[in-house]
Amino acid sequence: MLDKLSRGLTAIALFSLAAFAAGCGSNASVPYALPAGPGADVHSTVAQSVPDACNTTVNDPLNRAGGSDALPACATFTGGFTYGPNNAPSGSSVALLSTTKKPGGVPTEPGTPLLFVQGELKSKAGYITFKASKVKSDVHSTKLLSSKTYTLYAFAYGFEIYHTNLGSPTNGTLKFASPFDGRQLPTYVKVTVEIAQN
C-alpha cells in the first residue's frame, strides 16, 4: 500500500515538473517518465487489426529494433502505434485494449472522446526507453472528419501526462509522431490514450 502511494506521489511530482517546464496549457508534447511497476524501424506501414475487437486485450511482442503495434479494432477505429529502437529485454511485450467507454480513473478533458486505448508494457525491466520512430503512428475511422480537429491525450494514475494536437484527418486517417518517441516508460503501469474531437 505504501509502495503504491509512494509511486502515485512520485508521478504527481514528475507530472508537475514536466507541466511547469513545458508551460501549462500548451499544445506541445510533454516528455514524461513515470515510476516503475513491479517489475531502426522494421515496418514501413502500420498493421491492421481484425474488426470488432472492442474491450479485448491483445498482447504483442516488443521488438528492440522498433516496429508497430496494431490497435485492437473498435467501432470502426483501426491503426497502430509505431515505436523506435528501445532497450526492452527479450520476452518483453505490450498489452493493448481499445474501447469507446472511458475507463475508470481517466479524467474528463475538453472535446468529445471517440476512442480510448489502454496500454501496459510487460517486461522484466523496470523501465523501457524508446528512441524516435521513423514511421508515423496512425488511426483510421469513418468517424474522423476532415472538417474537425483532434487531440491525443495520455493518462496514468488518474492524471494527464501528455497531450498533442493531431490536426485534421485525410480520408479518415490521422497520422502523428509515435507517443513512445523519446520516452522512458515504466512496466506494469496502465497508460490510457484518448483520441478526442475538438
User: Residue 43 above 70 pLDDT?
Assistant: no
Number of domains making up the chain:
1
> What pLDDT, on a 0 to 100 scale, did the predictor assign at position 49?
39
How does strand 57-61 pair with strand 184-186?
Answer: unpaired
> What pLDDT, on a 0 to 100 scale, did the predictor assign at position 19?
35
pTM: 0.72
- Segments forming the whole domain that contains residue 116: 2-197
Q: 30: closest CA among 175, 172, 161, 166?
A: 161
Average the pLDDT over 129-137 and give the result. 91
With 0-12 / 13-18 / 19 or more C-beta atoms within 10 angstroms meaning exposed / middle / buried, residue 26 is: exposed
For CA atoms 186, 190, 195, 196, give the dihedral sign.
negative
> What pLDDT, on a 0 to 100 scale, did the predictor assign at position 66?
92
Average the pLDDT over 141-157 and give the result. 93
Mean pLDDT of the chain: 77
